[in-house]
A and B are shown apart, each in its own frame.
Chain A
Amino acid sequence: MRKTLTRIICLVVVAIMALGCLVSCNTPDEAVNYAENNTTIKVGVSGPLTGGAAMYGIAVKNSAQLAIDEINAAGGVNGIMLELVAADDKHEPTQVSTTYTTLYEGGCQLFLGTVTTGPGIQFKDYALEDGIFYLTPSASGDDIPSADGGFQMCFTDSNQGTASATYFNTNYKGKKVGIFYKADDDYSVGIKNNFVKGLDASFGTPVEASFTGDTAMFDSQIATLKDCEIIFMPIYYTPASQFMKQGSGTIKSDAIYFGCDGFDGIDAVAGFDIKSITQEVSYLSHFDSTSTSGPAADYIAAYKAKYPDQPLNQFGAAAYDCVYAMVDALNKSGKEFSATTSAQDYATILKEVFTSDTFVFNGVTGECVGDQKSTITWNDDGTVNKIAVKYVVKEASAN
């Protein structure tokens, strides 16, 4: 008798548990909509507003604000106003848990992700967990884009190699190409490999020279590269400036030093007077902050008018494009949305548009021909397609 009772009790308990499971399966955990009390569409960005990398974060914040003000002045998105929320991550990955919560639980619906790569990797984890969409202006790490909702406005680190090769193929046909890279740095080797892969067969085999660690005596490398007419240097500006100083006199005086984004700031290296070398120094970027005509110059003029004493750089231009690209995507989506639509629903809309084959955004970064804005598209994995522009840090000069 007792045994039967136990059996019945057991059966009932199991049944209840099974039922409970079914019930919980039927009612998915409804995500909280932090945006339900919004009166504007909130755009969130996490970036360094203080600390050593602040010039990047501030440029991004200002430029995003500039874009939002312009959009609002023109009537907003479907009549809904935009509002920017910026959180300071000090370029420290550990700060991202705070900044992300501030933005996400503060009701942000559209995200510019982070400004820099280190914090960006953290941001990606949180964002994918909550199923939101972000379009980062400048976190260029290979790990940042994701098919699940992480998109980039800047070139991925390793894609710079491919972009540079494309540029060489169209602009430097027949030149003798050399490569100077850092063999123990993933950034440098990654770009170099993609560059070599993308280079036209007509160039033959480029001359390669490399270094490791803090080696700073480049005699052998300079001797190897001395006959090259254009030297591709996917390295940071400190060793690059040392190479240029040591190579002056041996490297062809009319050669071109062609770098990647690691060259950003090479004209401000302490103790390196860039005018003391005769060679041209350039790097491939998606924005030329010295443009004097076309859409890029229009952006620069608008930025300078609003923020006369603030840093102006390619980071800001990319952020400006990010805001416009997301608004453009919303307008083209044909879907309904409002100020209280959740971040997840916005993510669904934006992801569909950004991965569709027909979405083309016209912006100020990338190559603008005349008054035409540039053509920008995205791949399904979140990386960007646009034509890079050459940023000339220093023209060739006779000496």
Chain B
Amino acid sequence: MDFITMIINGLSIGGTYAIIALGYTMVYGIAKMLNFAHGDIIMVGGYTIVLFFPISPVVGIIASVIFCVIVGIVVEKSAYKPLRGASPLAVLITAIGVSKLLQSAAQIFIGSESKGITVNLGEIKMGSVKISVLTLITILCSIAVMVALTLFVKYTKTGRAMIAVSEDRGAAQLMGINVNFIIMITFIIGSALAAVASVFLVFKIQDVGPIFGAMPGIKAFAAAVIGGIGSIPGAMVGGVVLGFIEAVCGMIPPITPYTDAIEFAILIIVLLVKPTGFLGKKRREKV
């Protein structure tokens, strides 16, 4: 089919995954935990947008960012902070528990029927190809976020403190870095990224249900691992790889039903061949 359409679709899906994967990667890199509730923070953001959308889309977006950040902080303070220093397995299970808690809460308080909005931002004609404005915004925004995040981590004091905490938490603390504060900042950034992703997803799908964030969350996690978890450009690469797989599979009818299987098979292959992902750093164990 249309080669250009396919590339654009791949970039658009990939960009969304990349933004979600960034949330995973940031939290993993700094707090050394897999925040499986990340996808459900997206769901929270989605519902917030749908709720405030009738007032104004912009209000919806701002409310979504604020609300996601609040939920992120509450989750970090109440569920993850008490487990600082506990075994990684305990933290992992807690994260899955938080994810299920958020999903079930949404089902109980909002209902299992999905809620929808209607958005049409129109499209731009470029030669023979029509690109929807939303796709364009998604691609541009995800690149902008990526660049901004890289600059933030590299050139600000907080950013460099993040790198320090990620490399050696104990040493960073001895150098006078407030580790708990840095981890909190990380969760705030992660949740804000989830809110941004929820904007793209809701405007695209135009429908939010209790498990709205689950599948994109898992896919983005796969993207983060493929790209090398803990690495910011890695999240981008992983997201775009998955986005392209999805775009290609979606346009070849016989293999469309196997899209998810192919994506996760690639995750397994990457883990077998290069366990640290495309751009992940090899960490030497200290003796």
Is the A/B pair a real complex?
Answer: yes
> Which A residues are closer than 8 A to B by beta carbons?
183-184, 208-217, 219-221, 223-224, 238, 241-242, 245-246, 248-250, 269-273, 276
Can you sample 16 A-B contacts with CB below 8 Å?
A: A210-B253, A212-B257, A215-B259, A216-B207, A217-B13, A219-B12, A219-B204, A220-B247, A221-B256, A242-B207, A245-B118, A248-B120, A270-B113, A270-B116, A271-B115, A276-B118
Given known A-B contacts A183-B257, A220-B249, A271-B118, A214 and B9 have beta carbons under 8 A apart: no
Which residues 174-205 of B have a CB within 8 angstroms of A?
201, 204-205
Give the residue name and chain of the A residue nearest to B261 (CB). A212
Which residues 108-157 of B have a CB within 8 angstroms of A?
113-120, 122-123, 130, 132, 135
- Chain A residues lying within 8 Å of B116, measured Cβ to Cβ, are 241-242, 245, 269-272
Interface residue count on the B side (C-beta < 8 Å): 39
Cβ contact within 8 Å between A219 and B211: no
Cβ contact within 8 Å between A276 and B130: no
Cβ contact within 8 Å between A219 and B260: no
B232 at the A/B interface (Cβ < 8 Å)?
Answer: no
Cβ contact within 8 Å between A220 and B204: no
User: Separation in Å of the B130 CB from the closest CB of chain A?
Assistant: 6
Question: Whole-angstrom distance between the alpha carbons of A220 and B9 in the complex?
Answer: 7
Given known A-B contacts A238-B114, A271-B117, A249 and B257 have beta carbons under 8 A apart: no
Question: Whole-angstrom distance between the alpha carbons of A357 and B209 in the complex?
Answer: 50
Cβ contact within 8 Å between A249 and B122: yes
- Chain A residues lying within 8 Å of B50, measured Cβ to Cβ, are 271
Cβ contact within 8 Å between A249 and B117: no
- Chain A residues lying within 8 Å of B259, measured Cβ to Cβ, are 212, 215
- Chain A residues lying within 8 Å of B130, measured Cβ to Cβ, are 249-250
- Chain A residues lying within 8 Å of B135, measured Cβ to Cβ, are 219
Contact among B114, B120, B207, B253 for A208, CB-based, below 8 A = B253
Cβ contact within 8 Å between A224 and B251: yes
Cβ contact within 8 Å between A219 and B13: yes
User: Separation in Å of the A383 CB from the closest CB of chain B?
Assistant: 29
Contact among B5, B117, B122, B257 for A210, CB-based, below 8 A = B257
Given known A-B contacts A209-B250, A270-B116, A272-B116, A238 and B256 have beta carbons under 8 A apart: no
B2 at the A/B interface (Cβ < 8 Å)?
Answer: yes
Question: Whole-angstrom distance between the alpha carbons of A224 and B6 in the complex?
Answer: 10
- Chain A residues lying within 8 Å of B2, measured Cβ to Cβ, are 223
B40 at the A/B interface (Cβ < 8 Å)?
Answer: no
Give the residue name and chain of the B residue nearest to A271 (CB). B116
Given known A-B contacts A224-B251, A250-B130, A250-B132, A245 and B206 have beta carbons under 8 A apart: yes
Question: Whole-angstrom distance between the alpha carbons of A131 and B222 in the complex?
Answer: 56
B1 at the A/B interface (Cβ < 8 Å)?
Answer: yes
Cβ contact within 8 Å between B253 and A219: no
> Which B residues are closer than 8 A to A by beta carbons?
1-2, 5-6, 9, 12-13, 50, 113-120, 122-123, 130, 132, 135, 201, 204-207, 209, 211, 215, 246-247, 249-251, 253, 256-257, 259-260
- Chain B residues lying within 8 Å of A269, measured Cβ to Cβ, are 116
Cβ contact within 8 Å between A246 and B204: yes
User: Separation in Å of the B136 CB from the closest CB of chain A?
Assistant: 13
Other than A220-B249, A220-B250, A241-B116, give 8 A-B pairs with Cβ distance below 8 A. A208-B253, A209-B253, A212-B259, A216-B205, A224-B1, A224-B253, A249-B130, A271-B117
Cβ contact within 8 Å between A219 and B257: no
Question: Whole-angstrom distance between the alpha carbons of A57 and B251 in the complex?
Answer: 42
Given known A-B contacts A219-B12, A223-B1, A241-B116, A271 and B206 have beta carbons under 8 A apart: yes
Cβ contact within 8 Å between A215 and B215: yes
Give the residue name and chain of the A residue nearest to B135 (CB). A219
- Chain B residues lying within 8 Å of A211, measured Cβ to Cβ, are 256
- Chain B residues lying within 8 Å of A220, measured Cβ to Cβ, are 6, 9, 246-247, 249-251, 256
- Chain A residues lying within 8 Å of B253, measured Cβ to Cβ, are 208-210, 224
Cβ contact within 8 Å between B215 and A214: yes
Closest 9 CB pairs of A and B: A220-B250, A271-B116, A183-B257, A216-B205, A219-B9, A208-B253, A245-B206, A223-B5, A210-B256
- Chain B residues lying within 8 Å of A249, measured Cβ to Cβ, are 120, 122-123, 130, 132
Question: Whole-angstrom distance between the alpha carbons of A38 and B99 in the complex?
Answer: 60
User: Separation in Å of the B119 CB from the closest CB of chain A?
Assistant: 8
- Chain B residues lying within 8 Å of A217, measured Cβ to Cβ, are 13, 201, 204-205, 246
- Chain A residues lying within 8 Å of B119, measured Cβ to Cβ, are 245
- Chain B residues lying within 8 Å of A221, measured Cβ to Cβ, are 250, 256
Give the residue name and chain of the B residue nearest to A184 (CB). B257
Which of A184, A210, A273 counts the most chain B CB atoms within 10 A? A210
- Chain B residues lying within 8 Å of A208, measured Cβ to Cβ, are 253
User: Separation in Å of the A398 CB from the closest CB of chain B?
Assistant: 15
Question: Whole-angstrom distance between the alpha carbons of A272 and B119 in the complex?
Answer: 10
Question: Whole-angstrom distance between the alpha carbons of A124 and B287 in the complex?
Answer: 71
Question: Whole-angstrom distance between the alpha carbons of A215 and B261 in the complex?
Answer: 13
Question: Whole-angstrom distance between the alpha carbons of A300 and B4 in the complex?
Answer: 52
User: Separation in Å of the B6 CB from the closest CB of chain A?
Assistant: 7
User: Separation in Å of the B81 CB from the closest CB of chain A?
Assistant: 32
Cβ contact within 8 Å between A238 and B120: no
Question: Whole-angstrom distance between the alpha carbons of A245 and B50 in the complex?
Answer: 15
Given known A-B contacts A210-B256, A223-B9, A271-B116, A238 and B207 have beta carbons under 8 A apart: yes
Give the residue name and chain of the A residue nearest to B206 (CB). A245
